[in-house]
Amino acid sequence: MVKVRLLAAALIGLAGFTHSVAVAASDGGPYTAEALLENPDKILSLLAEGVIEFEQVPNPHWRTDACNACHMGAAAAGGKMPPLRTEDIDGLCGNCHDPSMVAEYIHAVGMEPPDEFLDRMPDDFLAALERGGQVITCIMCHDLPLQCEEKRFPQQEINPFFFRGGPYTERTDLCFNCHDPEDYERYNPHDQVTDEGELDTEQCFFCHNTTPNRTVVRSIDDVSFNVAEELEKLCTGCHPYQPHPGGSWFSSTGNREGGGPNHLKVPPEKIRRRMEKMVRETGAVMPLEPETGRIFCATCHNPHERGVQYYPRADVGADGYKRLRRGKFEICMACHDL
């Protein structure tokens, strides 16, 4: 059964595979690529029984001599195709691709799209929906004729899975042919100023238990948080990069290694003195965790949007490169004497 479930992944790996060699099966019968293409409905059972191996399964996509994998024979003169082996589109794909992969990869096969999806769909998606009986089938997302026509074969390099409407920069762009991207935007607690330029005080409560009074706050000691210690927990729910910076570290030999230095700790006296010196000389703000004196995420990164902080020096780094309180190459020198 494991072999059957892995077949879809195996076929993806065979994207450039064109022909399989003839092999003698365990029951004495030769299962050539041609024989398997002629009997695609037997492929999964032959795999499950161990009669054939993955390497023997031909990939019918992006080739001109495998029409009979889906059709009742090859193209006739003039390019007219014979009927499909079955009108069950998903069943046809399921001859090679394990149907359990549908659920595993969140394919909405068999679903009737709601009206708001229909209003968003391009015409070719609507046509594919009609072809599938007004429910979603494999051809909603995969444009099968694209990988059948030799003149379109150059597109394989940029659209290997023949996504309808592709190629796409991001795979989720395919999804947004039906889904409204605004419904899937991730919550951003750093979006703290409205389009009208007003402070959105509701955003403050992501980190703070009361709205800070911007005109009187002079340092981190003048605000309160939802957690008393380990303030990095306010950040790592969305930014799970630890240890940091980098998550991994370049060793002296030039190799990237795991287990880089842990910066989330009380800085040694030498580091503490240099930080204080840099704050005095540059006017930078590099707060430490009030309860413990530890370095935490906001020591180096400004979590506020530009304009939220009342005092200009506290605004430095907002909306900049990774919100660093000092420049990309200067941030390390705020603590380390290089």
Residue with tokens 């930014």: 239
Please report which confidence band the pLDDT of residue 118 belongs to, taking 50, 70 and 90 as the band edges.
very high
In this prediction, residue 40 has a pLDDT band, given cuts at 50, 70 and 90, of confident
DSSP string, 216-263: T--SGGG---SSSS-TTHHHHTT----STTTSEEE-TTS-EEES----
Q: What is the DSSP string of 135-172?
A: S--GGGTB-GGGGT-GGGGGGGGT-TT-BTT---SSTH
Confidence of residue 26 (pLDDT cuts 50, 70, 90): very low
Mean pLDDT across 275-283: 89
Average pLDDT over the chain, rounded to an integer: 81
Q: What is the per-residue pLDDT for 243?
A: 62
C-alpha 303/C-alpha 232 separation (Å) is 12
133's tokens: 């009986």
The DSSP result for 172-213, as a single string, is HHHHTTTS-GGGGPPP-TT--B-TTS-B-GGGGGGT-SS---
Q: What is the CA radius of gyration of the chain?
A: 29
pLDDT in tens, 66-86: 888 888 877 777 777 888 888
CA 280 to CA 4: how far, in whole Å? 66
Structure letter (DSSP) for residue 311: S
- How would you class 299 by CB atoms within 10 Å of its CB: exposed for 0-12, middle for 13-18, buried for 19 or more? buried
Say whether 134 sits in a helix, a strand or coil.
Answer: coil
Question: Quick one: pLDDT at residue 302?
Answer: 94
| Mean of pLDDT values over 214-229 | 88
**Which of 291, 322, 295 lies closest to 223 in space, CA to CA?**
291
Q: Strand, helix or coil at 142? A: strand
Residue 220 has pLDDT above 60, yes or no: yes
169-190 pLDDT, tens digit each: 888 899 999 999 888 888 889 9
Question: pLDDT at position 330, please?
Answer: 87
Euclidean distance between CA atoms 242 and 263, whole angstroms:
10
pLDDT of 293 > 70? The answer is yes
DSSP code of 19?
-
Distances in Å between the Cα of 182 and the Cα atoms of 56, 113, 179, 239 are 45, 18, 9, 21
Given a cut of 80, whether residue 98 has pLDDT beyond it is no
Question: Hey, how many other C-beta atoms are within 10 angstroms of the C-beta on 213?
Answer: 10
Helices assigned H by DSSP within the chain: 2-5, 7-13, 33-38, 43-48, 89-93, 100-104, 115-120, 123-131, 172-175, 233-236, 269-282, 297-300, 312-315
Overall residue count recorded for the chain in this entry = 338
Assess whether pLDDT exceeds 60 at residue 19: no
Report the predicted TM-score, pTM, of the whole model to 2 decimal places.
Answer: 0.53
Name the burial class of residue 296, with classes exposed (0-12), middle (13-18) and buried (19+) by CB atoms within 10 angstroms of its CB: buried
